[in-house]
Amino acid sequence: MTHNKLNLPGEKIDRARELAKNICAPVLDFIDVHTTVTVERATLRLLGVDGVSSVGVPVPNLIVDALSDKLGEGAAIWYSNALLQTGLDQSELDKRIARGFNIASLPMGDRARAQEYATRLAQRQFARIDANRAYREARLEEYRGNSHSPLLYLIVATGNIYEDVKQAQAAALAGADVIAVIRTTAQSLLDYVPFGSTTEGFGGTYATQENFRIMRRALDEVMEREKRYIYQTNYASGLCMPEIAAMGALERLDMMLNDSMYGILFRDINMYRTFVDQRFSRMINAYSGIIINTGEDNYLTTSDGFEKAYTVLASQFLNERFAYAAGLRPWQMGLGHAFEMDPSIENGVLYELAQAQMAREIFPEHPLKYMPPTKHMSGDIFRGLVMDSMFNFVSKATGQDIHLLGMLTEAIHTPFMMDRHIAVESALYVMNGVASIADEIEFKPDGLIVRRAHDVLDRTVNFMEEIGRIGLMESIERAMFADISRSRTGGKGFEGLVEKGENYFNPVESTLTRSLGLA
Amino acid sequence: MAKIIKPYGDAMDDGKVQLSFTLPVPAGSRSMEAARRIALAWGFHEAEVVHMAPMSDEFTFFVVYAATSRGIDWDTVEGDRDDGEKPMSMDEINAFIRARIGRKIVVIGACTGFDAHTVGIDAIMNMKGYNHHYGLERYEMIDAHNLGAQIPNEKLIEYAETHRADAILVSQVVTQKDSHIHNLTEFMELLEAKGERGRFICIAGGPRISNKLAAKIGFDAGFGHGTYAEDVATFIVKKMAQERRT
């Protein structure tokens, strides 16, 4: 249904993909020979490790901290070794570890036996993920055609999971297809995942496995009633990307925010750490059939939406490349972009149209995630609603797939229930009123929109040529993305990076590698 | 004589206001009446429910037009800052610094605590600025350091010490559960505990920050919605000149 309206030169698009491949290659080589504390903790979670100490330290953290210099061998074998040596079952061992038992103090027995045992534990969790995936696919098939196009995406963020549930159900009943629970602002910098259901958070709610479960149940209720699949979304970002991805897989989340460089640039997380973490988290997302959402919108809240539009496209190419390298399929790559140009720019909406149509044509199979205006939203809610309406129009006119609804009260407060209601109503009005517009409109071959798209693509290729010359990490050091400079060894979480040892063993990774065809 | 002001709809002193709100009841004629009654309970003397929509089984959205007979005396009202005092332009500020201070001034800014929003501090500090108002990085006579978001208060103060800052800008965007107030208070307490309150001009900023609120917490000034880099810079340089911080 998307045909080429912009007449973008295919060889330039091919060149950008080739550059992305070259740019990512050395980073991927680095990733291959490293693990991190959170990759190991995610691995343990996917062996079924669970629980928390009396002071709230999760068992996966206790194990990984205790292993310290043994971590280069992978945590899995030490865990299965402990099960074999003690003869305990998993929940008994986890409880003992929570009370202070150090599994690293046990002698390593027969490695082959321990490996075989760990592999079996992983298979049990993979079976659960397979069942989740099968369930999702069956429901999507059953309710096919009942979702909106684009999918309407709404955020809840009360801090209290039980309050989130009420707001999420109301939002889904009002028409939202996707519900994201924003995390508390502190969470991205925590090097552990909190445990249990939570009722306190700032600007959002803790992502915990129990909170995931509570929200899943609530959204499934609405799904049954509305005969429409409700996608659950959370954030595989920050210092625990792979662990959150593991929890998302186990609790049947459907989408996860997952950007290859967001943590580096916008959360000052160490770049080596992030690159290793994003790969493993994306492999888990890939296996569990989750659609990732990348975070290109953030480039434009920091830099100028008109002048820096090419950085968005460049990031989309890099995110796509890193996604392929983690086994994600194009239908799982929700590449992000945003409607963030200064509203006072003459023809600004046409430039937005050009950018959105360009993304559509360059990434035809990808479920593009389109983000609403935020930076230029003022306290003027009436103007804000008009801006959101133009955004809704552009989204429908360019065939976007995942549409994050703008809030008229953006920049004022976390949305009230009625703000979401107004957002859904106005989106449904606009999108119904112009339902067939993407099929109806063509662009003037030498007009403003076509020229703008060509210009952004040209700049993107030039920008990527430069990154290719100096290298991705060096480019980040030189503030070439989002005007933010990050050093290689700076940022949070660098100490959690570990070189894989000669006898590194990870049954989760090897299963993922094999089943995703990455070997 | 007191000048009493009231909302203006389409005639002087008609007192008309528009309201929209949610009630935790199902939609229906009873809840429509409840919406009207609740507006009357707030003291409006007429109220008309013009729109009602169910948002779920338990919540309903209303738009109501109402009229008030209450007004206030305009002459007794004081603003957050003096409307007559206009900020200087970027060029005027640079010239003022050259003439009155005689050296580049150092301004450090950050969004502190767990607040991850750089949008406020960026609007004031980034080269490009916001809404066609250049940020402090663009000012020739200002050495501006934007540390970004999620900066602990301790770090910000340390950084200001090492870089011999003249002014510190603390941005707070998230206001849920009054986290902005806690954060700003903690910053001020830390600075005072170190005996360094007098060393820096301290400014709070963010969409929900007023001059009054900032002053109450102990800051020299607060800049909220609709203020730009030149407002902040004008305040800093005038205060520096006034206190002879050269």
pLDDT tens per residue across span A470-484 = 999 999 999 999 888
Residues from chain A that touch B53, judged by Cβ atoms under 8 A, are 421, 425
**Which residue of chain B has the CA closest to A174?**
B55
More confident residue, B127 or B150: B150
- A308, A369, A375, A492: the catalytic one is A369
Q: What is the DSSP string of B206-217?
A: STT--HHHHHHH
Average pLDDT over residues A286-309: 91
pLDDT band at B176 (very low <50, low <70, confident <90, very high): confident
A194-247 residue pLDDT tens: 999 999 887 789 999 999 999 999 999 999 999 999 999 999 999 999 999 999
Cβ separation B176–A203 shorter than 8 A: yes
pLDDT band at A330 (very low <50, low <70, confident <90, very high): very high
Nearest to B202 by CA among B190, A381, B178: B190
Does residue B67 belong to any structural domain of this protein? Answer: yes
pLDDT band at B2 (very low <50, low <70, confident <90, very high): confident
Cβ separation A412–B119 shorter than 8 A: no
Distance CA A415, CA A167 (A): 10
Residues B191 and B146 in one domain: yes
Q: How confident is the model at residue A3, as a pLDDT?
A: 65
* HEC per residue, A417-468: HHHHHHHHHHHHHHHHHCCCHHHHCCCCCCCHHHHHHHHHHHHHHHHHHHHH
Cβ separation A202–B132 shorter than 8 A: no
Residues B106 and B189 in one domain: yes
Cβ separation A185–B126 shorter than 8 A: no
Residues B160 and B97 in one domain: yes
B186-243 residue pLDDT tens: 999 999 999 999 999 999 999 889 999 999 999 999 998 888 999 999 999 999 999 8
Which of B45, B73, B101 is a domain's end point?
B73
- A254, A259, A297, A401: the catalytic one is A297
Bridging pattern class, strands A291-293 and A255-257: parallel
Cβ separation A379–B122 shorter than 8 A: no
ipTM confidence score: 0.84
Q: Which of A198-207, A434-443, B35-44 has the lowest mean pLDDT?
A: A198-207
pLDDT at A12 over 50: yes
Residues B98 and B67 in one domain: no
Q: Could you tell me if residue B68 is left (phi over 0), alpha (psi between -120 and 50 degrees) or otherwise beta?
A: beta
Residues B156 and B186 in one domain: yes
Distance CA A392, CA A388 (A): 6
Does residue B139 belong to any structural domain of this protein? Answer: yes
Does residue B82 belong to any structural domain of this protein? Answer: no
**Which residue of chain B has the CA closest to A341?**
B131
For B42, the domain range is 4-73
Compute how many other C-beta atoms are within 10 angstroms of the C-beta atom of residue B29.
8
Helix/strand/coil for A36: strand
Radius of gyration of chain A (CA): 23
Interface size A-B, in CB pairs within 8 Å, comes to 77
Does residue B212 belong to any structural domain of this protein? Answer: yes
Q: Choose the closest CB to B22 out of A267, A378, A416.
A: A416
Active site residue A227: no
Does residue B78 belong to any structural domain of this protein? Answer: no
**Which residue of chain A has the CA closest to B61?**
A418
Question: A486: buried, middle or exposed (CB in 10 Å: 19+, 13-18, 0-12)?
Answer: buried
Distance CA A219, CA A154 (A): 13
**Residue A271, both tokens:** 């770049």
Active site residue B128: yes
* Residue A401 · residue A368 · CB < 8 Å: yes
Distance CA B8, CA A166 (A): 38
Residues 93-152 of B with CB under 8 A from A: 114-116, 118-119, 122, 126, 128, 131-132, 148-150
Distance CA B75, CA A233 (A): 53
Compute how many other C-beta atoms are within 10 angstroms of the C-beta atom of residue A32.
11
Q: Which of A6-10, B76-80, B129-133 has the lowest mean pLDDT?
A: B129-133
Distance from CA of B26 to the nearest CA of A (A): 12
Cβ separation A379–B119 shorter than 8 A: no
pLDDT band at B168 (very low <50, low <70, confident <90, very high): very high
Distance CA B82, CA B78 (A): 9
Which of B44, B73, B102 is a domain's end point?
B73
Average pLDDT over residues B10-31: 97
Residues from chain B that touch A173, judged by Cβ atoms under 8 A, are 55-57
**Residue A117, both tokens:** 């045992």
Does residue B81 belong to any structural domain of this protein? Answer: no
pLDDT at B36 over 50: yes
Cβ separation B55–A173 shorter than 8 A: yes
Mean of pLDDT over chain B: 92
Number of domain units in chain B: 2
**Residue B89, both tokens:** 């332009």
Distance from CA of A402 to the nearest CA of B (A): 22
Which of B12, B38, B73 is a domain's end point?
B73
* Residue B63 · residue B18 · CB < 8 Å: yes
pLDDT band at B175 (very low <50, low <70, confident <90, very high): confident
Nearest to A401 by CA among A177, A85, A132: A177
Q: How confident is the model at residue A435, as a pLDDT?
A: 97
Average pLDDT over residues A258-278: 94
Residues B158 and B233 in one domain: yes
Phi (first) and psi of residue A459, to 5 degrees: -65, -35
Show Cβ contacts of residue A392 under 8 Å, excluding neighbours closer than 6 positions: A403, A406, A426, A427, A430, A431
Does residue B18 belong to any structural domain of this protein? Answer: yes
* Highest CATH level, class, for A131-451: alpha beta
Residues B48 and B102 in one domain: no
Average pLDDT over residues A94-117: 97
Q: How confident is the model at residue A1, as a pLDDT?
A: 45
- B3, B86, B128, B194: the catalytic one is B128
Residues B50 and B99 in one domain: no
Distance CA B76, CA B114 (A): 39
Residues B196 and B127 in one domain: yes
Residues B162 and B202 in one domain: yes
Show Cβ contacts of residue A350 under 8 Å, excluding neighbours closer than 6 positions: A448, A449, A452
Residues from chain A that touch B59, judged by Cβ atoms under 8 A, are 170, 417
Residues from chain B that touch A239, judged by Cβ atoms under 8 A, are none
pLDDT at A175 over 90: yes
Residues B154 and B192 in one domain: yes
Residues B182 and B225 in one domain: yes
Cis peptide before A150 (omega within 30 of 0): yes
Average pLDDT over residues A438-449: 96
* Residue A255 · residue A292 · CB < 8 Å: yes
Active site residue A297: yes
- By the CB < 8 Å criterion, does B40 face chain A? no
Cβ separation A302–B122 shorter than 8 A: yes
What is the rounded (10 degree) CA torsion for A210, A212, A217, A221? 150
Domain of B49, CATH number, reads 3.30.30.60
pLDDT band at A2 (very low <50, low <70, confident <90, very high): low
Q: How confident is the model at residue B84, as a pLDDT?
A: 79
Helix/strand/coil for A233: strand
Cβ separation A421–B61 shorter than 8 A: yes
